[in-house]
Amino acid sequence: MSGRIPPEAFQFYLGLGPDRSYQRVADQFGFSKRAVTKLAMRARWQERVENLEHKAREGAEQKALESLE
């Protein structure tokens, strides 16, 4: 383990879906869970995921409304 956790770690975390975990990110990128957790807290991963999921739901609802019209 050397260097910094790459920025694409968040995208990997987001892509894990409902089964996402910091441990899986740590395993994928070769860092400790503690290092990933510290980064996630600083970068507000949980908040970002919630915002993105909310936007995705809104987009899906909008498409559903358009198809009903």
| pLDDT of 2 strictly over 80 | no
Q: Is the pTM of this model over 0.75?
A: yes
Higher per-residue confidence, 27 vs 68: 27
Query: DSSP string spanning 36-69?
Result: HHHHHHHHTHHHHHHHHHHHHHHHHHHHHHHHH-
The pLDDT tens digits of the residues spanning 7-42 come to 999 999 999 999 999 999 999 999 999 999 999 999
What pLDDT does residue 15 have?
A: 95
